[in-house]
Amino acid sequence: MIEFVNVVKKYDHGVCAMDNVNLRIDKGEFVFLVGPSGSGKSTFLKLMIKEEEPTSGKILIDGKDITRLKKKEIPFLRRKIGFVFQDFRLLYDRTVEENIVFALRIIEASEKEIKTQLKTVLQMVGLTGKEKYYPNQLSGGEQQRVALARALATKPPILIADEPTGNLDPKTADEIFKTLLEINARGTTILVVTHAKDIVNELNKRVVALDHGKVVKDDARGVY
Protein backbone atom coordinates (compact mmCIF):
# COMPACT_ATOMS: atom_id res chain seq x y z
CA MET A 1 0.00 0.00 0.00
CA ILE A 2 2.70 2.50 1.09
CA GLU A 3 6.38 1.77 0.62
CA PHE A 4 9.49 3.91 0.97
CA VAL A 5 12.56 2.33 -0.64
CA ASN A 6 15.96 3.84 0.18
CA VAL A 7 14.38 7.30 0.36
CA VAL A 8 16.72 10.24 0.88
CA LYS A 9 15.57 13.85 1.11
CA LYS A 10 18.22 16.56 1.40
CA TYR A 11 17.33 20.24 1.42
CA ASP A 12 19.45 22.97 -0.13
CA HIS A 13 20.53 24.24 3.30
CA GLY A 14 22.17 20.89 4.02
CA VAL A 15 19.57 19.29 6.29
CA CYS A 16 18.93 15.62 5.59
CA ALA A 17 15.23 15.14 6.43
CA MET A 18 15.04 11.54 5.16
CA ASP A 19 18.15 9.43 5.58
CA ASN A 20 17.81 6.20 3.58
CA VAL A 21 14.33 5.40 4.86
CA ASN A 22 12.90 1.95 4.14
CA LEU A 23 9.36 1.37 5.36
CA ARG A 24 6.31 -0.59 4.25
CA ILE A 25 2.75 -0.07 5.47
CA ASP A 26 0.30 -2.71 4.28
CA LYS A 27 -3.32 -2.27 3.29
CA GLY A 28 -5.59 -1.96 6.31
CA GLU A 29 -2.87 -1.21 8.86
CA PHE A 30 -3.14 1.38 11.61
CA VAL A 31 0.25 3.01 12.17
CA PHE A 32 1.45 5.73 14.51
CA LEU A 33 4.31 7.90 13.19
CA VAL A 34 6.12 9.51 16.12
CA GLY A 35 9.30 11.42 16.83
CA PRO A 36 10.57 14.76 18.13
CA SER A 37 10.24 18.02 16.20
CA GLY A 38 12.62 17.98 13.24
CA SER A 39 12.68 14.18 13.07
CA GLY A 40 11.28 14.06 9.52
CA LYS A 41 7.57 13.37 10.12
CA SER A 42 6.31 16.35 8.11
CA THR A 43 8.70 15.59 5.25
CA PHE A 44 7.46 11.99 5.23
CA LEU A 45 3.87 13.18 4.75
CA LYS A 46 4.80 15.77 2.13
CA LEU A 47 6.65 13.13 0.13
CA MET A 48 3.57 10.88 0.21
CA ILE A 49 1.37 13.53 -1.41
CA LYS A 50 4.11 14.92 -3.67
CA GLU A 51 4.39 18.30 -2.02
CA GLU A 52 8.08 17.39 -1.87
CA GLU A 53 10.25 15.21 -4.11
CA PRO A 54 12.87 12.81 -2.73
CA THR A 55 16.52 13.41 -3.54
CA SER A 56 16.77 9.69 -4.28
CA GLY A 57 14.86 6.46 -3.72
CA LYS A 58 11.36 5.27 -4.59
CA ILE A 59 7.96 5.86 -2.99
CA LEU A 60 5.21 3.44 -3.93
CA ILE A 61 1.50 3.98 -3.29
CA ASP A 62 -0.67 1.03 -4.30
CA GLY A 63 2.34 -0.47 -6.09
CA LYS A 64 2.93 2.59 -8.27
CA ASP A 65 6.14 4.62 -7.99
CA ILE A 66 4.82 8.12 -7.40
CA THR A 67 8.24 9.68 -7.96
CA ARG A 68 7.62 9.05 -11.67
CA LEU A 69 4.18 10.64 -11.82
CA LYS A 70 3.54 13.42 -14.28
CA LYS A 71 2.16 16.68 -12.91
CA LYS A 72 -1.29 16.01 -14.35
CA GLU A 73 -1.43 12.69 -12.45
CA ILE A 74 -0.81 14.21 -9.01
CA PRO A 75 -4.47 15.14 -8.31
CA PHE A 76 -5.45 11.49 -8.85
CA LEU A 77 -2.79 10.38 -6.34
CA ARG A 78 -4.15 12.83 -3.77
CA ARG A 79 -7.66 11.47 -4.21
CA LYS A 80 -6.35 8.20 -2.76
CA ILE A 81 -5.20 9.94 0.41
CA GLY A 82 -7.54 11.65 2.85
CA PHE A 83 -5.81 14.25 5.03
CA VAL A 84 -6.94 15.47 8.45
CA PHE A 85 -5.10 18.40 10.03
CA GLN A 86 -4.67 19.50 13.63
CA ASP A 87 -6.21 22.91 12.87
CA PHE A 88 -9.19 21.35 11.00
CA ARG A 89 -8.88 23.69 7.95
CA LEU A 90 -12.62 23.91 7.54
CA LEU A 91 -14.42 26.54 5.47
CA TYR A 92 -15.96 28.62 8.24
CA ASP A 93 -18.42 30.43 5.98
CA ARG A 94 -19.96 27.11 4.94
CA THR A 95 -22.08 24.58 6.81
CA VAL A 96 -21.02 21.07 7.78
CA GLU A 97 -22.83 19.75 4.72
CA GLU A 98 -21.21 22.31 2.42
CA ASN A 99 -17.72 21.53 3.74
CA ILE A 100 -18.18 17.85 2.92
CA VAL A 101 -19.88 18.43 -0.43
CA PHE A 102 -17.03 20.73 -1.43
CA ALA A 103 -14.62 17.76 -1.41
CA LEU A 104 -17.02 15.67 -3.48
CA ARG A 105 -17.53 18.37 -6.09
CA ILE A 106 -13.75 18.60 -6.59
CA ILE A 107 -13.73 14.98 -7.75
CA GLU A 108 -16.84 15.63 -9.88
CA ALA A 109 -19.07 13.20 -8.00
CA SER A 110 -22.63 12.89 -9.26
CA GLU A 111 -25.53 14.36 -7.28
CA LYS A 112 -26.58 10.82 -6.32
CA GLU A 113 -23.07 10.01 -5.08
CA ILE A 114 -22.94 13.26 -3.13
CA LYS A 115 -26.23 12.54 -1.38
CA THR A 116 -25.20 8.97 -0.53
CA GLN A 117 -21.71 9.83 0.69
CA LEU A 118 -22.88 12.80 2.73
CA LYS A 119 -25.28 10.58 4.66
CA THR A 120 -22.70 7.80 5.03
CA VAL A 121 -19.83 9.91 6.37
CA LEU A 122 -22.04 11.91 8.74
CA GLN A 123 -23.24 8.63 10.27
CA MET A 124 -19.67 7.34 10.37
CA VAL A 125 -18.39 10.25 12.45
CA GLY A 126 -21.52 10.70 14.55
CA LEU A 127 -22.69 14.05 13.16
CA THR A 128 -26.09 13.14 11.71
CA GLY A 129 -28.40 16.07 12.39
CA LYS A 130 -25.61 18.66 12.34
CA GLU A 131 -25.62 19.15 8.56
CA LYS A 132 -26.79 22.77 8.64
CA TYR A 133 -24.51 23.90 11.47
CA TYR A 134 -21.57 26.19 10.79
CA PRO A 135 -18.16 25.20 12.23
CA ASN A 136 -18.21 27.99 14.83
CA GLN A 137 -21.43 26.50 16.21
CA LEU A 138 -19.63 23.23 16.95
CA SER A 139 -17.20 22.10 19.64
CA GLY A 140 -13.56 21.43 18.77
CA GLY A 141 -14.20 17.69 18.73
CA GLU A 142 -17.18 18.12 16.41
CA GLN A 143 -15.10 20.29 14.08
CA GLN A 144 -12.46 17.58 13.95
CA ARG A 145 -15.20 15.09 13.08
CA VAL A 146 -16.28 17.35 10.20
CA ALA A 147 -12.68 17.34 8.99
CA LEU A 148 -12.70 13.53 9.22
CA ALA A 149 -15.97 13.30 7.32
CA ARG A 150 -14.66 15.58 4.58
CA ALA A 151 -11.48 13.49 4.25
CA LEU A 152 -13.51 10.27 4.07
CA ALA A 153 -16.16 11.53 1.67
CA THR A 154 -14.14 10.65 -1.43
CA LYS A 155 -13.60 7.09 -0.09
CA PRO A 156 -9.79 7.23 0.00
CA PRO A 157 -8.04 3.93 0.77
CA ILE A 158 -5.50 5.84 2.90
CA LEU A 159 -6.21 8.34 5.68
CA ILE A 160 -3.48 10.52 7.16
CA ALA A 161 -4.22 12.30 10.44
CA ASP A 162 -1.60 14.90 11.39
CA GLU A 163 -1.85 15.59 15.14
CA PRO A 164 -5.63 15.08 14.98
CA THR A 165 -6.14 15.58 18.73
CA GLY A 166 -3.51 18.23 19.44
CA ASN A 167 -6.10 20.91 20.22
CA LEU A 168 -8.60 18.68 22.01
CA ASP A 169 -9.20 17.70 25.63
CA PRO A 170 -8.40 14.09 26.63
CA LYS A 171 -12.02 12.86 26.57
CA THR A 172 -12.65 14.30 23.11
CA ALA A 173 -9.28 12.96 21.90
CA ASP A 174 -10.31 9.47 23.02
CA GLU A 175 -13.55 9.80 21.05
CA ILE A 176 -11.69 10.87 17.91
CA PHE A 177 -9.37 7.88 18.16
CA LYS A 178 -12.33 5.56 18.71
CA THR A 179 -13.74 6.91 15.43
CA LEU A 180 -10.39 6.37 13.68
CA LEU A 181 -10.33 2.77 14.89
CA GLU A 182 -13.84 2.21 13.53
CA ILE A 183 -12.79 3.67 10.18
CA ASN A 184 -9.73 1.42 10.17
CA ALA A 185 -11.92 -1.61 10.92
CA ARG A 186 -13.79 -0.90 7.67
CA GLY A 187 -10.52 -1.39 5.77
CA THR A 188 -9.04 2.11 5.49
CA THR A 189 -5.28 2.27 5.99
CA ILE A 190 -4.56 4.87 8.68
CA LEU A 191 -1.35 6.75 9.43
CA VAL A 192 -1.47 9.00 12.49
CA VAL A 193 1.24 11.52 13.36
CA THR A 194 1.00 12.32 17.05
CA HIS A 195 2.77 13.30 20.25
CA ALA A 196 -0.03 11.80 22.39
CA LYS A 197 2.03 9.16 24.19
CA ASP A 198 -0.81 8.00 26.43
CA ILE A 199 -3.08 7.23 23.47
CA VAL A 200 -0.30 5.52 21.50
CA ASN A 201 0.55 3.30 24.46
CA GLU A 202 -3.11 2.54 25.18
CA LEU A 203 -4.07 1.51 21.65
CA ASN A 204 -1.21 -0.95 21.21
CA LYS A 205 -0.87 -0.41 17.45
CA ARG A 206 2.22 -0.37 15.24
CA VAL A 207 4.60 2.46 16.13
CA VAL A 208 7.19 3.85 13.69
CA ALA A 209 9.57 6.35 15.26
CA LEU A 210 11.73 8.79 13.29
CA ASP A 211 14.75 10.68 14.56
CA HIS A 212 17.00 12.88 12.42
CA GLY A 213 15.44 11.41 9.29
CA LYS A 214 16.03 7.78 10.24
CA VAL A 215 13.61 5.05 11.28
CA VAL A 216 14.85 4.29 14.79
CA LYS A 217 11.93 2.07 15.83
CA ASP A 218 9.33 -0.04 14.09
CA ASP A 219 7.31 -2.07 16.57
CA ALA A 220 4.14 -3.94 15.59
CA ARG A 221 2.62 -3.55 19.07
CA GLY A 222 4.73 -0.68 20.27
CA VAL A 223 4.87 1.93 22.95
CA TYR A 224 5.98 5.51 22.52
CATH assignment at residue 107: 3.40.50.300
Find the domain containing 117 and state its range: 28-54+69-217
Tell me, yes or no, whether 6 lies in a domain: no
Tell me, yes or no, whether 13 lies in a domain: no
pLDDT tens digit sequence for 62-98: 999 999 999 999 999 999 999 998 889 999 999 999 9
pLDDT tens digit sequence for 163-199: 998 888 889 999 999 999 999 999 999 999 998 889 9
Tell me, yes or no, whether 165 lies in a domain: yes
Tell me, yes or no, whether 146 lies in a domain: yes
Report the pLDDT value the prediction gives residue 166, as an integer from 0 to 100. 85
User: 148 φ, ψ to 5°?
Assistant: -65, -45
The Cα-based distances of 124 to 121, 165, 180, 210, 213 in angstroms read 5, 18, 10, 32, 35
Tell me, yes or no, whether 114 lies in a domain: yes
pTM score = 0.92
